[in-house]
A and B are shown apart, each in its own frame.
Chain A
Amino acid sequence: MTDDSFPVLEVTDLRKAYPGVIALDGVSLSVRPHEVIGLAGENGAGKSTLLKALVGLVRPDAGTIAVRGRQVRIKGVADAAGHGIGMVFQEQSLVPNITAAENIVLGFEGAGVRRGIYRWKTLRQLAQVQLDKIGSRVDPMARTETLTFAERQMVEIAKVLAIEERTSTEPVILLDEPTSVLEPEEVETLFAQIQRLREHASVIFVSHRLEEVMRISDRVYVLRGGRVAGEVDPATADIAHLHELMIGTADSGNHYHDDLHSGAVAERTPRLVISGLTGEGFKDVSVSVGAGEIVGVAGVTGSGREALCRALFGAGIVTSGTVTVDGHRIDLSSPRAAVAAGIGYVPSERKVEGMVAALSVGRNVMLARTDLITHGPLIDRRREASLVDFWIERLHIRTPSRSTSIGQLSGGNQQKVVVARWLVGDDVKVLLLDHPTRGLDVGAKSEVYRLMRTLAATGVATVLLADSLDESIAMSDRVVVMYDGRVVADIPAPPGAKPAPVDIVREMV
Chain B
Amino acid sequence: MSQLSTTPAIPDLAPPADPAPRRRFRVQRSTLSGLAPLVAVLALGGALTVANPRFIDPRSLSALADSAAPLAMLAIGATVVVLCGGIDLSIGALASLSSVLLAMWIPTLGSAAIPAVVATAAAAGLLQGVLHVVFRIPSFVVTLGGMTIFSAIALVISDAGTVPVTDTSVTKWAFDRIGDYIPTSVILVLVVVTLVTVVLRVTPVGTWIAAIGYTEPAARLAGLPVYPVKVAAFTLSGTTAGLAAVLLVARTYAGNPTMADSLLLPAVAAIVVGGTAITGGHGGLWRTMAGAIIVTMLRVGLSVVGVPSAYESILYGVLVIGAVAMTIDRSKVGVIK
Contact, CB under 8 Å: B11 / A358: no
- A115-130 residues with Cβ-Cβ distance < 8 A to B are none
Contact, CB under 8 Å: B13 / A450: yes
A-binding segment of B39-47, B203-211, B249-257, B306-314:
B203-211
Considering the complex, give the chain B residue whose CB is closest to the CB of A393: B12
In Å, the complex CA distance between A379 and B205 comes to 10
- For the residues of B in contact with A, the DSSP-based class is loop
Q: Which residues of B contact A340 (CB under 8 A)?
A: 223
- CB A159 to nearest CB in B, in angstroms, measures 32
Contact, CB under 8 Å: B10 / A394: yes
Q: Which residues of A contact B24 (CB under 8 A)?
A: 408
A-binding segment of B61-69, B164-172, B178-186, B213-221:
B213-221
* Given known A336-B225, A367-B224, A394-B13, contact A356–B214 (CB-CB < 8 A): yes
In Å, the complex CA distance between A390 and B28 comes to 23
B7 an interface residue at 8 Å Cβ cutoff?
Answer: yes
A265 an interface residue at 8 Å Cβ cutoff?
Answer: no
Contact, CB under 8 Å: B203 / A398: no
Considering the complex, give the chain A residue whose CB is closest to the CB of B18: A396
In Å, the complex CA distance between A315 and B217 comes to 10
Contact, CB under 8 Å: B221 / A345: yes
Contact, CB under 8 Å: A347 / B221: yes
Q: Which residues of A contact B242 (CB under 8 A)?
A: none
B-binding segment of A217-225, A297-305, A369-377, A475-483:
A369-377
Cβ-neighbour of A313 out of B9, B202, B218, B221 (below 8 A): B221
Flag A335-346 by CB within 8 Å of B: 1 or 0 each.
Answer: 110111000010
Contact, CB under 8 Å: A367 / B6: no
Cβ-neighbour of A408 out of B18, B26, B222 (below 8 A): B26
- CB A133 to nearest CB in B, in angstroms, measures 43
- B1-44 residues with Cβ-Cβ distance < 8 A to A are 1-2, 4, 6-7, 9-15, 18, 21-22, 24-26, 28
Q: Which residues of A contact B1 (CB under 8 A)?
A: 425-427
B-binding segment of A81-89, A266-274, A283-291, A451-459:
A451-459
Q: Which residues of B contact A357 (CB under 8 A)?
A: 214-215, 334
Cβ-neighbour of A454 out of B10, B18, B28, B225 (below 8 A): B10
* Given known A354-B221, A355-B218, A356-B210, contact A396–B15 (CB-CB < 8 A): yes
B332 an interface residue at 8 Å Cβ cutoff?
Answer: yes
Contact, CB under 8 Å: B224 / A353: no
Cβ-neighbour of A359 out of B10, B18, B25, B207 (below 8 A): B207
- CB A368 to nearest CB in B, in angstroms, measures 4
Contact, CB under 8 Å: A447 / B222: no
B281 an interface residue at 8 Å Cβ cutoff?
Answer: yes
- CB B330 to nearest CB in A, in angstroms, measures 12
Flag B185-205 by CB within 8 Å of A: 1 or 0 each.
Answer: 000000000000000001110
Flag B141-176 by CB within 8 Å of A: 1 or 0 each.
Answer: 000000000000000000000000000000000000
Cβ-neighbour of B207 out of A336, A338, A363, A404 (below 8 A): A363
Considering the complex, give the chain B residue whose CB is closest to the CB of A380: B202
Contact, CB under 8 Å: B13 / A454: yes
In Å, the complex CA distance between A347 and B12 comes to 25
- A-side residues, CB < 8 A to B, are 313, 315, 334-336, 338-340, 345, 347, 349, 352-359, 363, 366-368, 370, 372-374, 377-379, 386-387, 390, 394-396, 398, 400, 403-405, 408, 410, 421, 423, 425-427, 443, 446-447, 450-451, 454-455, 457-458
Residue contacts A-B, CB under 8 angstroms, 17 given: A336-B224, A339-B222, A352-B218, A358-B210, A358-B281, A359-B210, A368-B223, A368-B224, A377-B202, A379-B202, A390-B7, A396-B18, A400-B25, A426-B9, A446-B15, A450-B13, A450-B15
- B-side residues, CB < 8 A to A, are 1-2, 4, 6-7, 9-15, 18, 21-22, 24-26, 28, 202-204, 207-208, 210-211, 214-215, 217-225, 281-282, 332-334
Which 8 residue pairs of A and B lie closest in terms of their CB atoms, listed nearest first? A339-B223, A370-B204, A368-B222, A367-B222, A336-B223, A372-B2, A353-B217, A356-B211
